[in-house]
C-alpha cells in the first residue's frame, strides 16, 4: 500500500470483504475500482461512506472510489436512455430476467455468493437494477415484492417478483428467476408515443444487446450493441486517475461512482425486505 508508483487498484474479492479492503486502499491514497456488488447492505455502505468522507486531507487529491461492472457504461443503455424523450410519457416498465445459474455456470458453487444475504438475487440483481435506473433516468421510490425459494440447489431466495414505482410516478414490474430453462433478459418501457426495449442476445457471434425502438408511426428501429461496458468503465477510471493527479478539483465520472452502486443495492434490499413482510410496500432508502 505504501508504493507511491501504484496510483490505482482493482478490488475483486468476495462480497463480504471488498468494502473493508477498499477503505484500506483509499486511506492509503490509492484510487479504487471495486467489483460489484457495492456492499452487502446499505447499512454497511453508509458506514463505509462516512469513513471515506471523513478521511483527513493528507493527499493533494481525494482518492476516487469507483464501481465496476455496473451496466451504466454499456452503449445499449447509454443510447437507449437518449431515446426515452422520443417515446412520450412513460406508461409502464418491464424488467424480465430469466437467468441461467445452474451447475454448468462457473459461479454456481461460489461459496461467498451462497453465504451472501440475498444470495444470487442480490449479487446478480444489481446489474439489472443498474440497467433499469440508467435507462429510465428516474429513481425507484417504492417496491412491493414476493420472493420464493423454488430451486433447492440455489440459496434462498431464487425467485422474486416486484411491483415498483419510480419517483416520476410510473410503475413497473421486476421479475427475476435466478435459474430458468429458457434464459432471457430484457428491459422494456412503453410510452405514449413509442416503446424502447433492450434484450440480451447474440449477433454475428458477438454477445450484447438488441435495442428495439418502436415509434408511433409504426416503424421499428433495431440496433445491436456488443458488450464493451467493462472496457469503457476502465478507460474512464484511468482517465479520472490521470486527471486527478493534475487537477485536485477534478470530478470523477458519475456513472462509476460507488454511491450509484449502493443505490442499486438499496432497491434490491427494499425488494427483499418487502418479501419478508408478505409484499408490504417498502420505501427505497435514499443515499
Q: Where are the domains of the chain?
A: 8-69+230-257, 70-226+266-283
What CATH number was assigned to the domain covering residues 8-69+230-257? 3.40.50.720
CATH architecture of 70-226+266-283: 2-Layer Sandwich (3.30)
Q: What is the distance between the alpha carbons of residues 94 and 71, in angstroms, rounded to a whole number?
A: 17
The two beta strands, 171-177 and 90-100, are parallel
Q: What is the distance between the alpha carbons of residues 280 and 265, in angstroms, rounded to a whole number?
A: 19
Q: Which residues pair with residue 147 across a beta bridge? A: 160
In 3D space, the residue among 124, 100, 95 whose CA is nearest the CA of residue 183 turns out to be 100
Number of C-beta neighbours around residue 136 at 10 A:
22
Please give the model's pTM, rounded to 2 decimal places: 0.95
Residue-level pLDDT, tens digit, the chain, 287 residues: 667 789 999 999 999 999 999 999 999 999 999 999 999 999 999 999 999 998 877 777 889 999 998 899 999 999 999 999 999 999 999 999 999 999 999 999 999 999 888 999 999 999 999 999 999 999 999 999 999 999 999 999 999 999 999 999 999 999 999 999 999 999 999 999 999 999 999 999 999 999 999 998 889 999 999 999 999 999 999 999 999 888 877 888 999 999 999 999 999 999 999 999 999 999 999 99
Measured between its terminal Cα atoms, the distance across the chain in Å is 30
DSSP alpha helix (H) spans, the chain: 18-27, 42-53, 75-83, 111-114, 119-136, 229-246, 258-276
In 3D space, the residue among 36, 16, 17, 34 whose CA is nearest the CA of residue 26 turns out to be 34
Q: Cα 51 to chain center, whole Å? A: 23
Are the C-beta atoms of 30 and 7 separated by less than 8 Å?
yes
Amino acid at each position: 500500500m505504501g508504493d507511491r508508483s501504484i496510483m490505482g487498484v482493482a478490488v475483486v474479492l468476495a462480497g463480504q470483504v471488498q468494502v473493508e479492503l477498499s477503505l484500506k486502499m483509499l486511506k492509503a491514497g490509492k484510487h479504487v475500482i471495486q467489483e460489484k456488488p457495492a456492499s452487502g447492505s446499505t447499512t454497511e455502505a453508509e458506514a463505509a461512506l462516512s469513513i471515506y468522507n471523513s478521511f483527513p486531507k493528507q493527499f493533494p487529491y481525494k482518492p476516487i472510489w469507483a464501481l465496476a461492472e455496473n451496466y451504466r457504461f454499456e452503449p445499449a443503455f447509454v443510447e437507449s436512455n437518449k431515446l426515452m424523450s422520443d417515446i412520450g410519457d412513460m406508461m409502464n416498465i418491464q424488467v424480465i430476467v430469466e437467468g441461467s445459474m445452474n451447475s454448468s455456470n462457473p459461479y454456481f458453487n461460489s461459496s461467498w455468493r451462497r453465504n451472501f444475504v440475498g444470495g444470487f438475487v442480490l449479487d446478480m440483481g444489481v446489474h439489472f437494477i443498474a440497467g433499469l435506473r440508467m435507462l429510465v433516468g428516474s429513481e425507484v421510490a417504492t417496491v412491493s415484492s414476493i420472493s420464493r425459494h423454488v430451486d433447492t440447489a440455489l440459496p434462498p431466495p431464487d425467485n422474486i417478483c416486484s411491483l415498483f414505482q419510480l419517483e416520476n410516478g410510473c410503475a413497473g414490474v421486476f421479475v427475476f428467476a435466478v435459474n430458468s430453462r429458457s434464459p432471457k433478459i430484457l428491459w422494456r418501457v412503453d410510452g405514449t408515443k413509442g416503446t424502447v426495449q433492450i434484450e440480451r442476445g447474440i449477433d454475428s457471434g458477438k454477445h450484447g444487446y438488441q435495442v428495439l425502438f418502436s415509434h408511433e408511426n409504426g416503424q421499428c428501429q433495431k440496433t445491436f450493441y456488443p458488450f464493451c461496458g467493462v472496457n469503457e468503465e476502465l478507460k474512464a477510471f484511468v482517465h479520472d486517475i490521470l486527471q486527478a493527479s493534475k487537477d485536485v478539483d477534478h470530478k470523477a465520472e458519475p456513472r462509476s461512482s460507488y454511491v450509484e452502486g449502493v443505490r442499486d443495492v438499496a432497491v434490491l434490499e427494499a425488494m427483499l425486505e418487502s418479501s419478508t413482510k408478505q409484499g408490504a410496500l417498502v420505501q427505497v432508502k435514499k443515499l
